[in-house]
Structure 1
Amino acid sequence: MPRKKMMKACIKCKQRKKKCSGQLPCDYCVKIEQPGGCEYRTRTKSKVVKVTERYISSLKNKIRALEAELAKASEGPDSEGCLEDGATSAEVNPLIEPEFRLTPDLDSPKQESLTIGSVEHCVQASQHSKQFLGMSSCVQYLAKLKQSLVNSCGSSTEHFVATDGGWPPNDLDINRSFVENVATKELPDLRKAKELIEIAHEIIGADYMFLETGYFEDTAQHLICKNPPPLQSEAIIEYTTELLRLVAHLALGSLFDKENAESRSLGLKYHRTTLLLYSELVKTYDCAASTSLILSLLYMAYFSLSLNKATSAFVMTGSAIRTMFTLGLHKRTKTIVENRVFWLCFIYDRLLAVRFGFPLMIDERNINIPLLTEVDDNLTAVSLDIYHFVSQVRLAKITTQIITKIYTRNPYSFLHNCHAVLKQLKNWFESLPAELKFDYNDIKTATTRSTFNLHINYNYSIIIATRPVLLYVFNSILTENRTKEKIYEARQLELISVLLESCVQAAEIQSRILAKLYYDGKLANRSFLDCHYIFSATTVLILTGYCSMLSGESIAFSGDIEGLFDFIQHNLKILQGLSEYNLAAKNFNKQLTELIDMMSSDEVVKALATGRSQNDPTSVDFQQAVASPRPMSRILRKRGNNPPKDFEEIGYVDLSQLVNNMDAEFRSGSTTDLFLDEDFMNYASGSL
């Protein structure tokens, strides 16, 4: 990835004939408040190398030999000469073996530094020896048969035209009058449509939305006309699909339009229209499947999520992913658009899975394509939009590890799994491009929400990877009913403390960033994700404060306990302020309030006070805190309405020291019996 000053002018400066500073973003794009649209185009030399079939065959043999050695090393002496799936390399069936394609490993050390626009198609063995081929399909078997015949006679495949079932019967045709009515009566004028699309893209950004360059001029503008041209049977499907995507954009733009008091109702109106348009396309689904349909389904899922409808969002995302599979985008992408759409599906899959405990729909072992392949005649774009997107994909890949290692039962130690995840997060943060890093205490006006989202997502990943330790400590306190010195040994307490410190620090930083966005008016009022980030951070802070009150401050939190309550109180205030027009915020605020009331209830107070010595200092502190009804509620509500003074002092979680400490523990072999893995598994893998 280029870190130096660009030698050429960006596209906007070229178009408007302005002098370009050559930075990313450049001074002019910052001046016109479009830093995300600053984009450079560079031409790269073709890296296509012709190789002989014999050379490819030798590479295959080497890969099989390496896989056999890897299987032997991991499975023991009895697995000699076997692949991971139990078949020897000699038993691999060449008839069903896929075409020779090697997938770059995005997590390998050689590709730790992010390179955009120069993705090398290097010959590199896949990380996983097991690979889904999808060759059980009879149609694909027939295609292989035809291909063999073509190869044997040297003919071109153009002579063999595949037959299908013909055009769908009339009773399944799209309702033309309805589509025309939407196009002529429900769409806004060009100016308003462009404004809503820009609002949606600014709020959602490169993280969860993709707009091709010139989308409005090339596509949207032709749809917004009062007299749509007559369309043939084949063209009506493509027209309806693009109309669906446009209305999905308008729905999101209306939902996040702060200037319009009726924006929510207008957004709901457009969302209902998307559902009706989609129901028309379902009639001819096999013909309508396209990247535009996939994007429409993802945007409809995002809208449903903003309405706090997780089930609907999951179903819509699942439909988008299954459509993507039918198009084969997980195997091969021919254009940047197809490549981008696939990885967008991947991000949505991880987004829902980790936040709602849903199963993963896309298995990384079945992905055969690199990220952002060089296409379009070797013309590659360099922009913040692409930088953000690639960084989000890499973070989503770490989310996969969190789900499979932390929140899935497996034979490995929780501590080793946690260490592996935190090490990946550390490497991700250190390898962020300079353009995506910023001083938390000196945030520039050009910093986009997409950049904020990256750092918010980073802290969220730390929280969900380490919070099982906090729940473990909480349950230990409740069951042991003793002070920290009696619950843990010295080595246990040291390791627990550093893990808890990272978790709580990430929650505090998360609170600072979101509070700053809220008080600066940059928080997406109707966004589910922003509310969910506040909710997750506040849950950790409440539990930390409660544990500290039960068994001494230093066991779960070594900082200022009053400052901790400041964060909790202001997070609740933000959720309360958003509850007026955000169903997710209202729901999260209710759940947190119920938690505080439960902790402060007489039943819980009496149960926890039983058996504690009156002379125990931690008991005295706790009894004083719970002496009056609803004590925690009273503590949280005694703060003023102004943000804490240190909200501007935003740092970042440095995982280097934590990872190094855990490395030392593992090298010494002293962590083997530190914790009961079954306890961690109960608290990590349960439906929390």
Structure 2
Amino acid sequence: MERRQQLDTADSPGRPIRSRTSNACDGCKKRKVKCDGNQPCSYCARRQRPHTCKYTAPSRIRQRRSRSVAAAPSPAGNARGPSPLHPEERRGTGSHGRDAATPSPPLSSHGRPRRSSAMMESAEDDTEVPREARLLCDAQGKLIFIGDCAPLSFFQSVRQLVNSRVGQTAFAPETSRYSVLENAPSSQQISAAPPDPPDVRAAHVSSHVASYVSATSGMLDLFDNEPRLTDNLVLWANLRDKPRNLTSAINYLILAIGCQTDDEPTSQVYFEYAKAQAFASLSDSLGVETVQAFVLVTVYMLCSCQINSSFLVFGVSVRAAYSIGVHRTEVNARFGPEIHRQRDRLWKSLRVIDLFLSTSMGRPPATSDVDCTVPYRHSSPDNDGGSDGGTFDLLNASVQILLITEGIVLEIFSRKRVSLQRTDGISLRLRQWSADWLRRLSDVVSQPCRHPRHEVAGACQVLSSYYYAVMLVSRPFLMYEVFRRLGDGPANTMASGKSKLADACIDAASLMVDPIIDLIKQGALDGRRPIIVSWLFAASLVLGLGLLSGFGRTLENHTQMSIQALEHFARTDAHARQYSLIAQSLLTTALEHLEKRELQQRLKRTETSSQLFGLIPQGGSRRTTIAASPVHQRHHQSSVLSPTGTTDSPFSALPSDRPPFLLHNHHQNMAARLSDMDSPAYLGLNDSLAVQDGTFWNMYQGTNEGDALNLFPLLDSGGAIDLAHYL
């Protein structure tokens, strides 16, 4: 009864209506309490914390769309609601809590943003971020999620854009039957772990450890140093009866990664035994060895092109690391200086692997810096970047650039629109990283004979991550420019902020390819490099798009170089093999499109100038004259199918030492080279899954590995991205 009287009194006409302030302080917003808008507000003053009372203007500005865009809204954009922000963004900080907030626009007296001229220019420079997430179907019929920032999603957007703007034959349905996610288990692979510990030859331990260190440089740092690791493994290999514990499992995993390229059957035996021992140890107490074992299992699967399985196994190592407090440096310090450093670097290694997996697959990371106190800048690069006095600390450089990449994913790809103002903060962090590391890394890569082999490979990998971060932040602007240039509207020759970022994306791809191809030619970069291969694939797509959309014919050379590098890694990497075929198809399409466009432009000029001297006979046309020319007839005949149903190869009369992908006129042969592939099963997240019959998922059962290395059967239920709202 008393409560009812209070409510009646509150609603009585004599009581004034509560007014709401136009802007509340950050503390009141966070606690969802009433704020009076004063400085400091009454709430902060009552809590005796007036220094924390700060006001932040609303960051999102509702901008009026142009009439042309409003008249033709994007179906894809209307089907989706606003994407939820990452929890770190709602707190106003980046993923690692080190980034400054983006400056907010000034407010008017009514709390609304002022429409200044600078703001109008910023509105024109806003660019939609394509929602490129997909559901892919693997060889077993399981749906796999691939997020917006993944290179595979970028490939599908490129494929749809090229097919819609250039031609349907660019990426035909038979161009991607192999799995670009994971290899199907081979019939030759061992189905069960060996019951007894496999034999290890002590004479091979040293070379295997060197290969392991080279393969994991810049990605992992789990042990003190290579000489001590080699000595420990030699002593262990000489034991007649090896113990069945995590230490032996870790040793087998090191050897498995080290001999994966040169002796894959032996590597597989080591891996199967070590993996079984690692999972069997989960019932025991967890420790650092548990984390190390599952991290090494993850790396081996990554090098075996089992990226989705590695993503799953990696979660075990992360949870084990959290369980023993590796993410807190004050906890690690209790074990003494040596163990403190080892545990800190174990956490950094986890962050590197995690951020690569999450970025390459477009999935949320398993680790976070919310409760992390491990420093990523233990020492400055001026004293060689490491705390061990003289060793170039590639792990710090790698984790720092991947943290910036994580911020790019949160600030760019978690939003529906991106502005030049938002890219300014990211570019500042990239410039700071470049000032700290780029010169030193470039010196290592440019002079491989003066540095250890593993250091050269690690520096190249870190450099590739840096260039990929630049490509990632500028990729939406490149897609906008490509769509505009391939459209039917008039060409705009004026340079804008968007075009500059598009150029930066292409430049970063070119700069990534240069050191990789140089090291390959010098024999300093071999083995399995999953990080380099993934970023190199994205660079080949960027270069192919740039060539296709008229950013310069000089990009043809860099596109060919990227294909050459992918072909080099394709000797041991099945993903690189398919990526190379995709890049070749895009290069072929780009060259055909440029030749066709140049021919059309020449026809227009000739028809105008022919009236001066009667160059074309009356009643004829320039087109019929060209069609009757011997050059055109030879070009036409080369594209005609032979009686056997295949195209005549343009490589038959050429030197065998020249790879086919370095030839300019191999367009007609590309369809035959890609005829054994089928398109990937990409589904837009707002599309319904097509209903298949009971035999659909079994269509690839019983096929051998050579026929279907592992692909996703096509689910033709749409998934196209409507880029009309870019206009």
Normalised by the length of structure 2, the TM-score is 0.53
Residue of structure 2 aligned with 1:399, choices 384, 401, 405: 405
The answer to whether 1:468 aligns with 2:480 is no
In the TM superposition, what is the alpha-carbon distance from 1:613 to its structure 2 partner?
12
Residue by residue, what CA displacement relative to the aligned partner does 1:106-143 show, whole Å, maximum 9, x if unpaired?
9579xxxxxxxxxxxxxxxxxxxxxxxxxxxxxxxxxx
Count residues with an aligned counterpart. Answer: 453
Preserved contact between residue 570 and residue 576 of structure 2 (Cα < 8 Å)? yes
- The residue aligned with 1:541 is 543
In the TM superposition, what is the alpha-carbon distance from 1:421 to its structure 2 partner?
1.6
SS in 2 for 1:521: coil
The answer to whether 1:181 aligns with 2:178 is no
Residue of structure 2 aligned with 1:414, choices 411, 416, 419: 419
Residue by residue, what CA displacement relative to the aligned partner does 1:2-32 show, whole Å, maximum 9, x if unpaired?
xxxxxxxxxxxxxxxxxxxxxxxxxxxxxxx
Task: Give the 3 Å change call, closer, same or farther, for CA 373–210 of structure 1 in structure 2.
Answer: same
- The residue aligned with 1:591 is 582
Preserved contact between residue 469 and residue 496 of structure 1 (Cα < 8 Å)? yes
**Mapping of 1:135-534 within 5 angstroms?**
181-182=196-197, 186-213=198-225, 215-216=228-229, 219-228=232-241, 240-257=245-262, 263-282=263-282, 284-285=283-284, 287=285, 289-331=286-328, 332-334=331-333, 335-371=340-376, 381-383=387-389, 385=391, 387-409=393-415, 413-432=418-437, 435-438=440-443, 444-446=449-451, 448-478=456-486, 480-485=487-492, 490=494, 493-534=495-536
Distance 1:605 1:433 in 2: 38
Task: Give the 3 Å change call, closer, same or farther, for CA 68–311 of structure 1 in structure 2.
Answer: same
In the TM superposition, what is the alpha-carbon distance from 1:476 to its structure 2 partner?
2.5
SS in 2 for 1:382: coil
Preserved contact between residue 297 and residue 319 of structure 1 (Cα < 8 Å)? yes
Residue of structure 2 aligned with 1:567, choices 554, 558, 573: 558
Task: Give the 3 Å change call, closer, same or farther, for CA 82–208 of structure 1 in structure 2.
Answer: farther
In the TM superposition, what is the alpha-carbon distance from 1:221 to its structure 2 partner?
4.2
In the TM superposition, what is the alpha-carbon distance from 1:582 to its structure 2 partner?
2.0
Task: Give the 3 Å change call, closer, same or farther, for CA 325–386 of structure 1 in structure 2.
Answer: farther
Task: Give the 3 Å change call, closer, same or farther, for CA 426–614 of structure 1 in structure 2.
Answer: same
In the TM superposition, what is the alpha-carbon distance from 1:636 to its structure 2 partner?
12
SS in 1 for 2:344: helix
Preserved contact between residue 251 and residue 271 of structure 1 (Cα < 8 Å)? yes
Task: Give the 3 Å change call, closer, same or farther, for CA 389–426 of structure 1 in structure 2.
Answer: same
SS in 2 for 1:409: coil
Larger radius of gyration: 2
Task: Give the 3 Å change call, closer, same or farther, for CA 372–280 of structure 1 in structure 2.
Answer: farther
Distance 1:397 1:83 in 2: 39
SS in 2 for 1:438: helix
Higher relative contact order (CA 8 A, sep 6+): 2
Distance 2:43 2:473 in 1: 29
Residue by residue, what CA displacement relative to the aligned partner does 1:55-101 show, whole Å, maximum 9, x if unpaired?
xxxxxxxxxxx9959989xx99659779999x9688xxxxxxxxxxx
In the TM superposition, what is the alpha-carbon distance from 1:581 to its structure 2 partner?
2.9
- The residue aligned with 2:182 is none
SS in 1 for 2:259: helix
SS in 1 for 2:388: strand
SS in 2 for 1:208: coil
Distance 1:338 1:298 in 2: 13
Letter in structure 1 aligned against 2:304: L
Distance 1:79 1:297 in 2: 54
In the TM superposition, what is the alpha-carbon distance from 1:382 to its structure 2 partner?
2.4
Preserved contact between residue 597 and residue 630 of structure 1 (Cα < 8 Å)? no
Task: Give the 3 Å change call, closer, same or farther, for CA 434–273 of structure 1 in structure 2.
Answer: same
In the TM superposition, what is the alpha-carbon distance from 1:187 to its structure 2 partner?
3.9
Residue by residue, what CA displacement relative to the aligned partner does 1:642-687 show, whole Å, maximum 9, x if unpaired?
999xxxxxxxxxxxxxxxxxxxxxxxxxxxxxxxxxxxx988xx9x
Letter in structure 1 aligned against 2:436: S
Letter in structure 2 aligned against 1:464: L
Letter in structure 1 aligned against 2:250: R
Distance 1:439 1:373 in 2: 21
Task: Give the 3 Å change call, closer, same or farther, for CA 569–370 of structure 1 in structure 2.
Answer: closer
Distance 2:38 2:398 in 1: 38
Distance 2:565 2:363 in 1: 28
SS in 1 for 2:318: helix
Letter in structure 2 aligned against 1:567: H
Preserved contact between residue 507 and residue 540 of structure 1 (Cα < 8 Å)? yes
SS in 1 for 2:545: helix
**Mapping of 1:623-638 within 5 angstroms?**
none
Preserved contact between residue 83 and residue 89 of structure 1 (Cα < 8 Å)? no
Distance 1:386 1:254 in 2: 25
Distance 1:533 1:384 in 2: 29
Letter in structure 1 aligned against 2:498: I
Distance 1:69 1:446 in 2: 56
Distance 1:636 1:460 in 2: 34
More helix by share: 1
Task: Give the 3 Å change call, closer, same or farther, for CA 431–226 of structure 1 in structure 2.
Answer: closer
Task: Give the 3 Å change call, closer, same or farther, for CA 441–221 of structure 1 in structure 2.
Answer: closer
In the TM superposition, what is the alpha-carbon distance from 1:408 to its structure 2 partner?
1.2
In the TM superposition, what is the alpha-carbon distance from 1:248 to its structure 2 partner?
0.9
> Percent of counterpart pairs with the same letter?
13
Task: Give the 3 Å change call, closer, same or farther, for CA 588–451 of structure 1 in structure 2.
Answer: same
Distance 1:440 1:195 in 2: 23
Gaps (5+ residues) in structure 1? 1-65, 91-104, 110-177, 230-235, 258-262, 375-379, 549-555, 645-680
Preserved contact between residue 464 and residue 532 of structure 2 (Cα < 8 Å)? no
Preserved contact between residue 67 and residue 83 of structure 1 (Cα < 8 Å)? no
In the TM superposition, what is the alpha-carbon distance from 1:199 to its structure 2 partner?
1.5
Residue by residue, what CA displacement relative to the aligned partner does 1:339-372 show, whole Å, maximum 9, x if unpaired?
1111111111111111121212222223233347
- The residue aligned with 2:78 is none
Letter in structure 2 aligned against 1:333: N
Distance 1:505 1:346 in 2: 28
Normalised by the length of structure 1, the TM-score is 0.56
Preserved contact between residue 568 and residue 636 of structure 1 (Cα < 8 Å)? no
Residue by residue, what CA displacement relative to the aligned partner does 1:487-535 show, whole Å, maximum 9, x if unpaired?
x7x4xx3323321222212111211111111111122233222322331
